[in-house]
Amino acid sequence: MLELTSLDLTAIYGLTLAYIVARYLLPQREVGDDGGTMWLLIRRNLLTLLLCLLFTIFFLSLSWFIGLVALTVLHTLIDAVITRVQKRWKDFAFQFTIVEPMIHLIAIFTLWIVVRTIRPSLGIAFHPRLDMALINRALLYASGYIFVLEGGTEIVRGVLRPLQTAVRGEVTAAPKSISPEELGTGKIIGNLERFLILTLVILQEYTAIAFVLTAKSVARFRELDKREFAEYYLIGTLTSTLVAIIVGLLLSVLPTTI
């Protein structure tokens, strides 16, 4: 049985951060676009490879590089399959938004198991005069905050998207008065909301979360009189809050040293 060490955490968290940066901070191609999709996936995952080398530079060796190349190929194949499936089942776009990162994280964990099986003792190429626990915490928190901000936006919009269509003749859409500019403002507000809530959860200041939600509600107080907007607002806010709290709890329990 493989024994987990602090260096294993550094490898896993570094590879996870590389994927999250590539997935959520690099430009993404819409599934419905034609032509060049595979090439763009390859190019994006080559950038992921560079990020993997950067965030796991402590383990730089030929065998580690070969493992990262294998992971890059695996990421590309996963992206290609998911892209093809999304084109066929566009109605399940939101489900893919949730499942896709999980599949890639499983691929990362699989790589770690393979490397550790081949090399029972995971060593580092050089010994930086740094606290590995601090490095692990930085990698872990960077992944969490990026996912909460960018991934949280995808999840919230995915949940709200069905409310923007007509169901059984009843219009349950978001208020038609919302403009693209307001949606942009809403993203900023949502990001700030999740950032603050995530930080408060990490600091275990749970009661302060109520003040964040209250402040947001005060800004929309007059518009909450409209039932359509109130439902839309409530679902979006609760989803956004839930994402931040879940990630915050995960960051609080995941180890940074062993």
Span 176-201, mean pLDDT? 76
State mean pLDDT over 54-71.
87
Name the pTM for this structure: 0.84
Give the gyration radius of the chain's Cα atoms: 21
Q: What is residue 230's predicted lDDT score, i.e. its pLDDT?
A: 75
Q: Which residues contact 183 (CB under 8 A, 6 or more apart)?
A: none
Question: Average pLDDT, stretch 137-142?
Answer: 95
Residue 50 predicted with pLDDT over 90: yes
Phi–psi pair at 177, nearest 5 degrees: -75, -10
If pLDDT is split at 50, 70 and 90, which confidence band does 174 have?
very low
| Per-residue model confidence as pLDDT tens digits over 85-95 | 877 887 777 77
Q: Give the 3-state secondary structure of residue 134.
A: helix
Q: Which of 246, 238, 147 is nearest to 202 (CA)?
A: 246
CB proximity list for 204: less than 8 A, separation 6 or greater: 252
Cβ-based burial of 164 (10 A; exposed 0-12, middle 13-18, buried ≥19): middle
Residues 25/150, Cβ–Cβ less than 8 Å: yes
Q: Tell me the mean pLDDT in the region 46-53.
A: 92
Report the pLDDT averaged over residues 168-194.
61
**Cβ contacts of 220 within 8 Å, gap of 6 or more:** 229, 233
pLDDT (average), residues 229-258: 89
Q: How many CB atoms lie within 10 A of CB 152?
A: 28
